[in-house]
Amino acid sequence: MNASPADQRRLLDLAALDARIRHADQTRRQPPQAVRVQALIAQRQELSQELATRLGARDDLQAELTRIESDVSIVDARAERDAQRLQAVTNAKDAQGLEHEIASLAKRKSDLEDAELEVMERLEEAEAAVAAQEALIAVTNDEGARLSTEAQAVVADATAALDAATRDRSAVAGGLAGELLALYERLATRSAGAALLRRQTCEGCHMVLSGTDLQTIRQADENAVVTCPECECILVRTEESGL
């Protein structure tokens, strides 16, 4: 196939625009923040599960504390009742029984108060653990929100860049001969499509051409469309080609 050197050079513009389109489309679909955002979502799920466990432990302690406080109230009520009965009783045996029961209730209350203090200490630790976990989740949520906002801006910029590059590509492609454009687009499905031959190196695959391949290209007419023997993209020759 033949094409003017000017048209062949326009293929470089087309290849550059296609590269911009691919990059913009990839960025739009997968902004740089996406991987971290997904990691934060998974991290938040794990943190939330741990928070649920800590909340359950705290709630159990609160329930236990409530039960102990209820038992203390019951003991106090019984002790007060027995004290009132003791003041009114006249039988020595009955008085002795009441005194024994009051002493037992006092021991019971002391044991309950010791248990209450222990549970209160454990409850304080559990509440601190819940607060710490909630703080971690808040930090994770803040980072996720910030990155999501950044990603939205990146996607918007990439979308604008994609639209602009697509319009520019249409303009460049419209000025090329159909046969040359068709060849380029076919080759672009498996290579850069077109690349500059600079210093005897294909800038599409960055391979240095052999002496035999260079000789073949030297002998080709300037209008001849030549391709890289390695990646098969169209090689655009200029004064920098080293021929």
In angstroms, the first-to-last Cα distance of the chain is 20
Residue bearing tokens 């000789």? 215
Residue bearing tokens 């003791």? 86
pLDDT at 35: 95
What confidence tens digit (pLDDT) does each residue in 184-242 have?
999 999 999 999 999 999 999 999 999 999 999 999 999 999 999 999 999 999 998 88
Residue bearing tokens 């943190």? 47
pLDDT at 155: 97
153 Cβ contact list (under 8 Å, min separation 6): none
pLDDT at 57: 97
Q: Backbone phi, then psi, for 233, in 5-degree steps?
A: -75, 160
| CATH 1.10.287.1700 domain range(s) in the chain | 29-157
Q: Backbone phi, then psi, for 190, in 5-degree steps?
A: -135, 5
168 Cβ contact list (under 8 Å, min separation 6): 17
pLDDT at 87: 85
Q: What is the mean pLDDT of the chain?
A: 94
Q: Backbone phi, then psi, for 131, in 5-degree steps?
A: -60, -40
Percent of the chain past pLDDT 70, that is, above it, reads 100
Q: Which CATH class is domain 29-157?
A: mainly alpha
Average pLDDT over residues 93-102: 85
pLDDT at 69: 95
pLDDT at 149: 96
What confidence tens digit (pLDDT) does each residue in 83-93 have?
888 887 778 78
Prediction pTM value? 0.72
Average pLDDT over residues 43-59: 97
Report the SS3 class of residue 140. helix
Average pLDDT over residues 2-10: 93
Percent of the chain past pLDDT 90, that is, above it, reads 89
What confidence tens digit (pLDDT) does each residue in 145-194 have?
999 999 999 999 999 999 999 999 999 999 999 999 999 999 999 999 99
